[in-house]
């Protein structure tokens, strides 16, 4: 494995950059913003190509600090590998190195530790600071870090995930955080012990949060707008047909029968007309819970076909009014109401730069190499899902994203397109 030879390769990159007229010799070739699965994977692939880079952000911060304690990964083990060029840093390799018994579904803490172990393969190219601002300059980009230091780079790869895209329905928007929080806003579910909690939503996050909060000793009610809760893998026999199942489902297990196969090819997805691509994307990630959840939710009160139409803060907590006129008194509302990609909500992208990025409804329009309409600016992960399909919402998409991105960048070291 050649990843750790980065320093030497980095110097070669510096010489190459300084050949470009008027460039500062300290300019990096690539800055990756975000050290989640996508940022770490892209960096691992860039590094073996000898590209001089730096990754900014705390490794696996979103998974370690924002997801509920005790969570299990929805994706199968085979779809939870963070891609590296030689597949040397797989989940299995980590478990072997850490002497951990492989388990399925995969516990959140194991995945976080796996990501942190993966991060060590990058050596000194990772910087824990966050990026506060990205601006264009004549040779690429000028990035201001949280402490005011300025870094320059020819290219920027945005791999900052879905954190800022939390969707809060209007009725809950103005509530203080002591009364309402989003599923992705905190790790500690034990704070709900002995409390009455309403969980809103019918996706994996809402359903799993409801199970975890219930198991932490709270009195939980799940309130779901749809008439029923859907479960992933409703036809388990379709997964037990050997080679036929492999024709119907890809190993990533994103989407239902047939669609699962299509979304496994993001390049192909990018050629599908947008309207149909959107339809496939939405179908592949529609609200549903894992098959191991119904058992854990057996004693949680479930109200379907209803939504909260009005909320008021009262002396003892919150009064929720549902659309059928019924009322609930609760201490807290947990919103499992998903997220909505909108790159203008990335605080480090100033409005004037966002305006230059061609978009479709908050998602950047991306082409080969995950590049947007601003030369040298690339987006990977969930923000790429409208261009390349729903695989990009998941860790399994790191393989395609990193290979495609790096092959593009490696071939264009001298020109910024
Ligand atoms: C509750 C929940 C469960 C999920 N379960 C699964 C699952 O089982 N399997 C799966 O494949 N996917 C799952 N997902 C989707 C998951 O979010 C993505 O697969 C994954 O996080 C994508 O990785 P990423 O690197 O794009 O984003 P992230 O993991 O969010 O990483 C982005 C990182 O960028 C950092 N960052 C943001 N802004 C800056 C900045 N200005 N400077 C520096 N760093 C910054 C953040 O701190 C963050 O750590 C789940 C999502 C949620 C919310």
How many residues can be counted in the chain?
Answer: 417
DSSP string, 342-366: -GGG-TTS-HHHHHHS-EETTEEP-
Contacts of 203 (CB under 8 A, 6+ apart): 287, 288, 289, 336, 338
Give 63-98 pLDDT, tens digit per residue: 999 998 899 998 999 999 999 999 999 999 999 999
The burial of 197, by beta-carbon neighbours within 10 Å (0-12 exposed, 13-18 middle, 19 or more buried), is given as buried
Give 260-286 pLDDT, tens digit per residue: 888 999 999 999 999 999 999 999 888
The verdict on whether omega for the bond into residue 131 sits within 30 degrees of 0, i.e. cis, is no
Confidence of residue 315 (pLDDT cuts 50, 70, 90): confident
Q: Give the Cα separation of 252 and 385 in Å (integer).
A: 15
Is the C-beta atom of 94 inside 6 A of ligand 1? no
C-alpha closest to that of 399 among 85, 54, 126: 85
Which residues make beta-bridge pairs with 377? 156
Q: Examine the pLDDT at 19 and tell me if it is beyond 90.
A: no
Confidence of residue 415 (pLDDT cuts 50, 70, 90): low
Is the C-beta atom of 164 inside 6 A of ligand 1? no
Kindly give the distance from the C-alpha atom of residue 310 to the centroid of ligand 1, in angstroms, as a whole number. Answer: 32
Q: What is the pLDDT of residue 123?
A: 80
Kindly give the distance from the C-alpha atom of residue 161 to the centroid of ligand 1, in angstroms, as a whole number. Answer: 5
Q: Give the Cα separation of 101 and 98 in Å (integer).
A: 9
Is the C-beta atom of 110 inside 6 A of ligand 1? no
Range 239-252 average pLDDT: 71
Give 110-144 pLDDT, tens digit per residue: 999 999 999 988 787 899 999 999 999 999 999 99
Structure tokens at 287: 């609200």
The burial of 244, by beta-carbon neighbours within 10 Å (0-12 exposed, 13-18 middle, 19 or more buried), is given as exposed
Q: Give the Cα separation of 345 and 359 in Å (integer).
A: 13
Of the residues 40, 62, 82, which should be mutated to test ligand 1's pocket, given the most ligand atoms within 8 Å of the CB? Answer: 62
Q: What is the pLDDT of residue 11?
A: 34
């Amino acid at each position: 494995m050649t990843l750790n030879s980065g320093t030497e390769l980095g110097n070669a990159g510096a010489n190459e950059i300084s050949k470009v007229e008027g460039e500062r010799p300290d300019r990096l070739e690539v800055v990756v913003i975000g050290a989640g699965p996508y940022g770490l994977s892209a960096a691992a692939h860039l590094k073996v190509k000898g590209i001089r880079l730096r990754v900014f952000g705390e490794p696996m911060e979103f998974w370690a600090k924002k997801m509920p304690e005790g969570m299990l990964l929805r994706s199968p083990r085979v779809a939870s590998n963070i891609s590296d060029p030689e597949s040397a840093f797989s989940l299995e390799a980590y478990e072997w190195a850490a002497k951990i018994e492989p388990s399925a579904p995969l516990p959140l803490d194991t995945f976080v530790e796996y990501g942190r172990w993966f991060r060590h393969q990058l050596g000194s190219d990772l910087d824990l600071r966050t990026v506060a601002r990205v601006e264009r300059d004549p040779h690429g980009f000028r990035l201001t870090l949280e402490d005011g230091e300025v870094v320059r780079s020819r290219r920027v790869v945005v791999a900052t995930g879905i954190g800022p895209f939390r969707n809060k329905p209007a009725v809950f928007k103005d509530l203080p955080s002591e009364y309402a929080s989003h599923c992705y806003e905190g790790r500690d579910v034990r704070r709900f012990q002995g409390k009455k909690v309403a969980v809103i939503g019918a996706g994996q996050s809402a359903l799993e949060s409801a199970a975890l909060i219930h198991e932490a000793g709270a009195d939980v009610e799940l309130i779901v707008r749809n008439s029923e809760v859907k479960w992933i893998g409703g036809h388990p026999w379709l997964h037990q047909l050997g080679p036929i199942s492999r024709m119907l489902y890809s190993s990533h297990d994103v989407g239902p029968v047939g669609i699962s196969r299509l979304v496994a090819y993001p390049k192909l997805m990018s050629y599908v007309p947008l309207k149909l691509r959107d339809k496939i994307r939405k179908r592949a990630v529609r609200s549903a819970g894992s098959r191991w959840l119904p058992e854990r939710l057996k004693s949680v009160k479930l109200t379907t076909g209803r939504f909260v139409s009005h909320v008021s803060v009262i002396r003892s907590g919150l009064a929720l009014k549902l659309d059928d006129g019924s009322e609930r008194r609760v201490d807290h509302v947990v919103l499992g109401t998903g997220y909505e990609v909108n790159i203008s909500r990335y605080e480090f992208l100033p409005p004037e730069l966002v305006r230059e990025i061609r978009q479709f409804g908050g998602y950047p329009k991306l082409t080969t190499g995950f590049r947007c309409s601003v030369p040298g600016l690339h987006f990977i992960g969930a923000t790429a899902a409208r261009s390349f399909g729903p695989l990009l919402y998941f860790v399994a998409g790191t393989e395609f994203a990193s290979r495609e991105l790096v092959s593009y960048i490696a071939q264009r070291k001298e020109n910024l397109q």
